[in-house]
Amino acid sequence: MLRTNLKPERIVHWIDQGVMLLHLGCPNESPLQNALSERGIITATDLMYTYYTATKDSPRVFLSDELDPLIRDLVVAIRR
């Protein structure tokens, strides 16, 4: 990072996206990934912030009944 023209924020963003893709697989291969990207959630940090904000007061449907268990598993995996 000391000898590059790239901004540190850009590198951190790429790593954050990489963490998300590590758990989801290649882009546009799963309905879960498509649902998240449609809502602008493309990084692990975006997911964690959005999920915990949405479910802070009460557990409710985050995306859909069928995708929510996958989201919970994904959040747990990223947190670890």
Q: How many residues does the chain have?
A: 80
- The reply to whether the predicted model has a pTM over 0.85 is no
In whole angstroms, give the CA distance from residue 14 to residue 20: 10
Domain residue limits at 38? 28-79
In whole angstroms, give the CA distance from residue 41 to residue 19: 13
Is 38 inside any structural domain? yes
Q: What is the pLDDT of residue 21?
A: 86
Q: pLDDT of 8-63, one tens digit each?
A: 899 999 999 999 888 887 766 778 888 888 888 889 999 888 888 887 776 666 77
Number of domains into which the chain is organized: 1
Is 2 inside any structural domain? no
Is 23 inside any structural domain? no
pLDDT greater than 80 at residue 1: no
Q: pLDDT of 62-77, one tens digit each?
A: 777 778 888 888 888 8
